[in-house]
A = this chain, B = another copy of it.
Amino acid sequence: MLDRCDLTKKADEGSYDKTLGSYKERLNYLQRSLRDQQIPVIIVIEGWNTAGITMAVHEIIQALDPRGFTLHAIEKPTEEERAHPFLWRFWLRTPPRGRIALFARGWYSRAISEEMQKHAWEKTLSGRVGQINNFERQLHDDGTVILKFFLHITKEEQKRRLDERERNPLTAWLVTPSIWNIHRHYEDSLPLIDRFIEKTDTDYAPWTIVEAMDRKYAILKIYGTIVKSLEKRADSIREGKQKKAKQKDLPLPKKNPVKRKALPEKKYSREECQESLASLQIEMLELHYLLFKRKIPLMIAYEGWDAAGKGGNITRLTRYMNPLGYYVVPVAAPTEHEKQYHYLRRFIKHFPKGGDIAIFDRSWYGRVLVERVEGFCTETDWQRAYREINEMEEDFVNSSGGGIVKFWLEIDKDEQLRRFQQRANDPQKVYKITDEDWRNREKWDLYTEAVDEMLARTSTEIAPWTVIESDDKWYSRVKALKTVINTVQNLL
């Protein structure tokens, strides 16, 4: 795409100030209008060094109210960011509803600079492209407008600009040997960048190539594209044309879905279970050390009926874990703040870094369970979630080399009643049972339907569900621990 650019384009000097002034006014107005309509906007400015990324950002923010945008200057990832999957830091920087996030370089520069260091990027590129497209599609489907710009100049022009900077004592120190080195590899990186742009130029997140030899031309093209795209979006919302992406009704997978069972095949005595548990916990301690040493992350998600024993199960699982190497993420209803973002973001935020175990006490599956059943999101939202979740899990495993264990703690409806009553009658445990638990119980059948569809649609090879027969608490704890140990052994 880059070689089809006409790099001789120039702005009309005479009308420049007037056109720019009008764009600025329109953008300023649009910012308020998109804020009122609660539309998040992502603008990514990429390009060659010296092509004018900083200048472009500088011009754009002149028009914006600082209350409503955030500028992200993306540089090398920090240690913490490096310990997480590639897109983690960008997920955390996605804008809340009604806000603009402006990226001075974004995931593309990082991806390109990583791929450039590989010998055979042709082979690995598609994985990264897939992740990025999924990321952008998910944000788009959630209502985010994404606009991407690549500022293009020739190698000769880049050399001229670098020389100019070097001659200026104020800017000379910015022109490091590594910048010159990247300059020398201009021709090598061109096809890689070109391919990246081509493969990520989508309906939901289109690229605009900006001929940036003439700075004024570049500014006007960027401003014009932003203003026109946003106006189009604002109009289509005003006219009620805007509709959220709808997932087609997918057939359920043909393969036998995961079966729910509340009672184990064989009856074990409490003593047998406690004995196994004690020796498994020691084994887990050793495996945890190895995970930590090799910097492999692990996620464990607990889902299950109310009173199925998630809390006690987690306590036994972590009994002998090093507390500095794991953490429990209790998941409750999203806060007002969290609701301002894509629903996956609050979980991605807690993803473990290499060597850590993150245990989710309830998880991202809330979208297709409680949020579905209680109507906290639309049908389109939860229908779309199966695919999004599968993509997120696959991305985590592929990027981090880690593992995901997902538990469904199954109990019988009568057993639940027995446990509810026991809690209600025990002054030490009565705080554990609420009216909400009773209300959820009334919707047992609706939940059953949601659980079965979840198990069928999201039990993947890379992140399979394990149903834990939990009518017997002690058996349940042994099976959970065994499953985790088994997964870890396969990771090492």
A71 within 8 A of B: yes
A286 within 8 A of B: yes
Contact with B along A44-87 (1 / 0, CB 8 A): 00000000001001100110001100010100001110000000
- On whether the beta carbons of A66 and B330 are closer than 8 Å, the reply is yes
A322 within 8 A of B: yes
Measured between C-beta atoms, what is the minimum distance from A447 to chain B in Å?
Answer: 22
A324 touching B32 in the complex, CB below 8 Å, given contacts A330-B66, A330-B67: no
A239 within 8 A of B: no
- Determine which of B170, B324, B328, B361 lies in contact with A54 in the assembled complex, contact meaning CB atoms within 8 Å: B324
A435 within 8 A of B: no
A323 touching B71 in the complex, CB below 8 Å, given contacts A293-B173, A335-B337: yes
Q: Which residues, 326 to 346 on A, are CB-close (under 8 Å) to B?
A: 327-328, 330, 332, 335-337
- Chain B residues whose CB sits within 8 angstroms of the CB of A286 once the complex forms: 170
Q: Which residues, 377 to 404 on A, are CB-close (under 8 Å) to B?
A: none
- Chain B residues whose CB sits within 8 angstroms of the CB of A431 once the complex forms: 32
CA distance A32 to B431 in the complex (A): 10
A314 within 8 A of B: yes
A289 touching B324 in the complex, CB below 8 Å, given contacts A66-B361, A337-B337: no
In the complex, what residue of chain B is closest to A326 when comparing beta carbons?
B71
- Chain B residues whose CB sits within 8 angstroms of the CB of A73 once the complex forms: 324
A323 touching B78 in the complex, CB below 8 Å, given contacts A170-B289, A289-B171: no
In the complex, what residue of chain B is closest to A331 when comparing beta carbons?
B67
In the complex, what residue of chain B is closest to A337 when comparing beta carbons?
B337
- Chain B residues whose CB sits within 8 angstroms of the CB of A173 once the complex forms: 293
- Chain B residues whose CB sits within 8 angstroms of the CB of A79 once the complex forms: 78-79
- On whether the beta carbons of A104 and B54 are closer than 8 Å, the reply is no
- What DSSP secondary structure best describes chain A's contact surface? helix
CA distance A89 to B152 in the complex (A): 40
- Chain B residues whose CB sits within 8 angstroms of the CB of A78 once the complex forms: 78-80
CA distance A62 to B315 in the complex (A): 8
CA distance A66 to B302 in the complex (A): 14
- Chain B residues whose CB sits within 8 angstroms of the CB of A361 once the complex forms: 66-67
CA distance A426 to B343 in the complex (A): 40
Measured between C-beta atoms, what is the minimum distance from A267 to chain B in Å?
Answer: 30
- Chain B residues whose CB sits within 8 angstroms of the CB of A57 once the complex forms: 323-324
- Chain B residues whose CB sits within 8 angstroms of the CB of A62 once the complex forms: 315
Measured between C-beta atoms, what is the minimum distance from A409 to chain B in Å?
Answer: 16
Measured between C-beta atoms, what is the minimum distance from A296 to chain B in Å?
Answer: 15
- On whether the beta carbons of B335 and A54 are closer than 8 Å, the reply is no
CA distance A224 to B141 in the complex (A): 54
Measured between C-beta atoms, what is the minimum distance from A89 to chain B in Å?
Answer: 12
In the complex, what residue of chain B is closest to A102 when comparing beta carbons?
B323
Contact with B along A260-289 (1 / 0, CB 8 A): 000000000000000000000000001001
- On whether the beta carbons of B323 and A58 are closer than 8 Å, the reply is yes
- On whether the beta carbons of A54 and B323 are closer than 8 Å, the reply is yes
- Chain B residues whose CB sits within 8 angstroms of the CB of A332 once the complex forms: 67
Chain B CB count within 10 A is highest, among A314, A323, A328, for A323
- Chain B residues whose CB sits within 8 angstroms of the CB of A289 once the complex forms: 170-171
Measured between C-beta atoms, what is the minimum distance from A278 to chain B in Å?
Answer: 16
- Chain B residues whose CB sits within 8 angstroms of the CB of A322 once the complex forms: 54, 58
A71 touching B170 in the complex, CB below 8 Å, given contacts A314-B66, A431-B32: no
Beyond the given A54-B324, A61-B323, could you list 10 further A-B residue pairs with CB under 8 A, ordered by the A residue number?
A32-B431, A54-B323, A57-B323, A66-B330, A67-B330, A78-B80, A104-B323, A173-B293, A336-B336, A337-B337
Query: 8 closest Cβ contacts across the A-B interface?
Result: A66-B328, A67-B330, A73-B324, A58-B323, A57-B323, A170-B289, A78-B79, A66-B330
25 A/B residue pairs, CB under 8 Å, sorted by A: A32-B431, A54-B323, A54-B324, A57-B323, A58-B322, A58-B323, A61-B323, A62-B315, A66-B330, A66-B361, A67-B330, A67-B361, A71-B323, A71-B324, A71-B327, A78-B80, A79-B79, A104-B324, A170-B286, A171-B289, A173-B293, A335-B336, A335-B337, A336-B336, A337-B337
